[in-house]
Structure 1
Amino acid sequence: MAKKTLAEKMAENSKSVVEALKTNTIGSFSSTENIKKNIIILNELKELIPPLLETEFLALKDNLQKHGCKDPLKVWQTNNNNIGITESPEEIVYVLIDGHNRFQLCNELKIPFNIQIDNFESITEVRNFMIDFQLSRRNITPQQASYLRGIRYNTEKKLVSNNLISNKDTEAIFPDGQNVHLENSLILNDANANLKVHLDNDISPDGQNVHLGSSNKKTTAQELGEYFKVDEKTIRRDADFARGLDKLSPEIRKEILAGQIKVEKTKIQRIGKAKEVNEPINSLDEIETIFQNLTKEPSISVNKNPKSEKLVHERYLKLTESLNKAYESKTAKEINALKVAFNKFLEALS
């Protein structure tokens, strides 16, 4: 059976979102109350729900008290194995995937609620569904939408890399820096053994993608851009933004996404690109310090040894002399002499 393309999977998710927006209930309620009492909340899924401002949370609370919980909460029927629990791996569990704020308030206020059970093959499918579902809502902010699109892109890229590894496909970089996607029929032999295997990105330094045997194949960013109706460059910036936010502590990330604190998006994106930033960032001051360090121009360190300082000064005088001669004569000979003097000056600095 042919593997479904990303576009096909997204189309299916889109249909699921439409269906989920309709009021739905379970066919039989014989075990509903037992399910309600044993609903599981996974932090990695809960974090996909854009945080509410305090005013929004209070408005939701007031609405539930006045009108009750009209729309059913969505739960994923799965087993312990699919959510990483090794004990009793085949035991059926029910994971909350939509309605986290309503679930909290209904339990606190003793307000009855209904549930809708959905089936997904993996937690990755659940994450993608939740992202699509949240992006379909009108009250989502631009930053929240950017974060969710970025998560979606990073997830898809990880899946692509894993598939390439499992299928023994290879993406390589030629010496000129261009990424080339090699199909199964192409085998790396002695003639191209100097190619460097690379699975982290699908874009070369000049922004071009090269696909051998599949010249019309779209990149993940292009597919998601079309799906979410934004430019592919926006998707890539969203990915950096999501990676940057994920390097923050959950508290700071939540406050930024809720609009409670303001941080320039470009700073978060720059942090997202930095592979050397791995520890959780816990404050705005840390964000600013790390950003300044990442964007700081590298300084040339000069040995303070007196002999070294004298050498640097001599080279500087020689460089100045060569510069004046080259400027006055404008001959190839003097220009070459300037190049030699400049290189020697750099050597003295190192």
Structure 2
Amino acid sequence: MINLKIDPEFQNQIPPLTDDEYKQLEENILKEGKLISPLIVWGNTLVDGHNRYKIVQEHPEISFSTMPLPFESREEVLAWICKNQLGRRNLTPEQKKFLVGKQYSIEHRKPGGNGNNQYTTATQEAVQEELCQNDTIPPTATENSVRKQIAEQHNVSESYVARSEKFMRGVQIMDQMIPGMQEKILSGQFKVRDADMHRLARADFPNRKQIVHEILHPEDRPAPQKRIYGINYSALEVAVRRIQQDFDFLMRYLPKLPDDSYAKTETLKILKQHKAYMAQFEEMLNEKEIA
């Protein structure tokens, strides 16, 4: 029997099976008398196949094999786990959001060269505090590129990817304060509003306790107050009209655009970038729940 190391962080990214699913998996393995697919490992650490490994530990007569993958860092392992789970199982909406958010959080916060990030180099206390701070940092060009790539991988919008990261952070904070809540939320056993998870992800450490209390006891939420926005709608309309006028003016000087493939490609590239930018605001305004 090969003894593999179980990494709690790797294992926690994998949505748990229900009792019926686990029982069915065990029956299938016992019927086959072996594991048909190898367990994915990184060195001696199990990456994928935690449920199957647990079953073979309970039944030593079952044979199995392992397949090592050449990951260069923990971040690569975590990103692989998220992508693998998103592509192979029936997931609840909450599980999908959590995994998409986790993948985005890992991939766009990788610094170049050393293969480490704040999740593995900081202390646990620093990690907990960091969970509510990155939300205020403007996205870089690299982040936009990663967000677009992940959105295309999973056939979702870029704004869904960005919101999923906030949801994931809120769930993690909730689980830190009340162990076991992550599993309840992701399984759908305990329903939460996206807006509450986003609010929890943005909250300073001293304010988290009150937000969690309101999530657990919605009857204690303060009465909603009417929001007063100091928006100059006339200025907003003028700004949008100016964009239209500037674009019309520029297009007059591109008469050969339809016949010039390079100019056409570059122009479409610019248009798509700004179209995606405006779509984020449109989707935000159309959300039913606003934090």
Q: Please classify the TM superposition score into its range, dividing by the shorter chain length.
A: 0.5 to 0.7
2:46 aligned residue: 96
Amino acid at match of 2:84: F
The equivalent of 1:43 in structure 2 is 8
The superposition leaves residues 28-84 of structure 1 with CA deviations (integer Å, 9 ceiling, x where unpaired) of xxxxx5xx12x101101100111111211111122122223211111111xxxxxxx
Q: Which amino acid aligns with 2:48?
A: D
Give yes or no for contact 1:240–1:269 (8 Å, CA) kept in 2.
Answer: yes
CA separation in 2, counterparts of 1:125 and 1:260? 30
Structure 1 segments of 4 or more deviating over 4 A? Answer: 160-163, 277-281, 289-298
Q: Distance in 1 between matches of 2:180 and 2:198?
A: 18
The answer as to 2:180 corresponding to 1:251 is: yes
Q: Which residue of 2 aligns with 1:192?
A: none
What residue ranges of structure 1 are gaps of 5+ in the alignment?
1-32, 78-93, 167-197, 204-208, 299-350
Q: Which has the higher strand share?
A: 1
Q: SS in structure 1 opposite 2:22? A: helix
Inter-partner Cα distance in structure 1 for 2:146 and 2:190: 32
Aligned counterpart, 1:202: 138
Partner deviation per Cα, 1:211-255 (whole Å, 9 max, x = no partner): 6xx9xx944322322232211110111011100111122411012
Alignment partner for residue 73 of structure 1, among 39, 56, 62? 39
Aligned to 2:149: 223
CA RMSD of aligned residues (A): 3.6
Kept in 1, the 8 Å contact 2:214–2:220? The answer is no
Higher helix content, 1 or 2: 2
**Once the two structures are superposed, what CA deviation does each residue of 1:87-108 show, in whole Å capped at 9, x if it has no partner?**
xxxxxxx100000011111101
Partners of 2:170 and 2:201 within 8 A in 1: yes
Pair 52,159 (structure 1): closer, same or farther in 2 beyond 3 Å: same
2:193 to 256, 264, 275: 264
Q: 3-state SS of the aligned residue for 2:46? A: strand
Q: Give SS of 2:173's match.
A: coil
Aligned ranges for residues 28-177 of structure 1 at < 5 Å?
A: 33=1, 36-37=2-3, 39-68=4-33, 69-77=35-43, 94-110=44-60, 111-159=62-110
Asked which structure has the greater RCO (Cα within 8 Å, sep 6+), the reply is 2
* Residue 287 of structure 1 pairs with residue 194 of structure 2: no
Residues 290 and 43 of structure 1, relative CA distance in 2, 3 Å threshold: farther
User: What is the percent sequence identity of the aligned residues?
Assistant: 30
The one-letter code of the counterpart of 1:51 is P
Tell me how far apart the structure 2 counterparts of residues 100 and 295 of structure 1 sit (CA, whole Å). 45
Distance 2:106 2:113 in 1: 11
Q: Which amino acid aligns with 1:73?
A: L
SS of the counterpart of 1:41?
coil
Number of aligned residue pairs: give it.
Answer: 203
Counterparts of 2:88 and 2:109, CA distance in 1: 26
Asked if the contact 1:240–1:272 (Cα under 8 Å) also holds between the matched residues in 2, the reply is yes
Distance 2:195 2:160 in 1: 13
Q: Cα gap change, 1:44/1:119 in structure 2, threshold over 3 Å: closer, same or farther?
A: same
Structure number with greater Rg is 1
C-alpha separation between the residues in 1 aligned to 2:112 and 2:36? 42
Query: Do the aligned partners of 2:214 and 2:221 also contact (CA within 8 Å) in 1?
Result: no
The answer to whether the Cα contact below 8 Å between 1:202 and 1:219 also exists between their aligned partners in 2 is: no
Contact kept in structure 2, 1:247 and 1:278, CA below 8 Å? no
Distance 1:291 1:220 in 2: 40
Q: CA shift at 1:275, angstroms?
A: 3.2
Q: What is the identity, as a one-letter code, of the residue corresponding to 1:230?
A: V
